[in-house]
Amino acid sequence: MNQVYLDNAATTALRPEVIERMTAVLRDNFGNASSTHSFGRSSKAILEQCRKNIASYFNVSAAEIIFTSGGTEADNLALRSAVRDLGVTDIITSKIEHHAVLHTAEQLEKEYGVNLHYLKLDHCGMVDLDHLKLLLEASDKALVSLMHINNEIGNVLDLSSVADLCATNKALFHTDMVQSVGHFEVDLSKIPIDFFAASAHKFHGPKGVGFCYIRKSSGLKPLIFGGEQERGYRAGTESLHNIAGMDEALKIAYKNLETEKAYISELKHYFISQLKARIPNSSFNGSCVDQTNSTYTLVNVCLPIAPEKAPMLQFQLDLKGIACSKGSACQSGSSQQSHVLTAILDEDALKKPSVRFSFSVFNTREELDYVLDVLEDFVKS
């Protein structure tokens, strides 16, 4: 049986070079980076070099990169600390954010009584910037949290426009960049973002490690207390081998960005064109067929399958060795419809199965042909 992995928005395979780097650190640099002896100093040197390397890709200071266990912790660190420490009275977000943001914002509304606002969305899930402007003008102290790349439908947020609106209205701007770091270049010397979250396993790095960008002099205080690691923002001994693996993965991602982007973009374009030709009544969710307003790494398609047959689609794809998803992997245990699709689709569209296929440099056109054959057979059977 063929094995085809098209769920790269959920997680990605480790690059061989990343495994080699992590193995070397595990073997040769096991000292605690907080220790003052030679073993500790060796680990500390690696840790701080990784921090400098990562900061350089976004044109920020190394001191503004705080290592975390992943994107969820980074989102929580920024949102919870901003409300607790910086006098935030309003959180402005959208109903199609990752649950790491939505559930955190809902909890902050309960704990601190902040006003929680959801931006209007168009039929593709793009945020209404005029609505954002109105909400910002009516707020005393706002925190805006909008993801750069939507993890289910691939929409790309206009970071510069949102950041400028926030700056004009003296609001804080947090963005979840878990799906964009390693896939898009973002120069923070040109875009006034206050906080962003990233996770290594989305760009062929290890799971269990990520980072939070916290703009210098932000006034944030720790979320996890203990030692003085990570500039005091995040106590606990750093996972050096994971951080080194993340550094290696990000280095390769940005070194090969244009070449790999062109390759993956061609795969996505081919997949969409073949879907349209083979299954003409397919429709595409969000802006995922728009090359300007969507990421090149994924497509979310609604297939013309009868409601009684729809529940079998994912099962049949899995039987054929095809890995994809109906939404975020974090919701895979839930029987509920995707909250992202529920926010933008009508009832008729929600009755049909929607599937997210997400691509990487390790995929091939031959794999896509196999997936297309399976989909076509299932739809027409």
Helix ranges restricted to H, the chain: 16-28, 38-56, 71-85, 99-112, 129-138, 159-168, 240-255, 257-278, 313-319, 339-344, 347-350, 365-380
What residue type is 290 in one-letter code? D
Supply 133's token pair.
């402007």
Query: Is 50 labeled as catalytic in the residue annotation?
Result: no
Helix (H) or strand (E) holding 322: strand 322-323
| Structural contact between residues 95 and 67, judged by C-beta atoms closer than 8 angstroms | no
* CA–CA separation, 341 and 327 (whole Å): 9
| Structural contact between residues 70 and 201, judged by C-beta atoms closer than 8 angstroms | yes
What residue type is 45 in one-letter code? A
Q: Whose CA is closest to 93, among 38, 174, 36?
A: 174
Most distant CA pair in the chain, distance: 68
* CA–CA separation, 203 and 250 (whole Å): 7
Q: Of 166, 302, 324, 330, which residue is the catalytic one?
A: 330
Q: Is 280 exposed, middle or buried (0-12, 13-18, 19+ CB in 10 A)?
A: exposed
* CA–CA separation, 136 and 314 (whole Å): 42
Supply 177's token pair.
């960049």
Q: What are phi and psi of 312, to 5 degrees?
A: -85, -10
Q: Which residues are catalytic?
A: 330
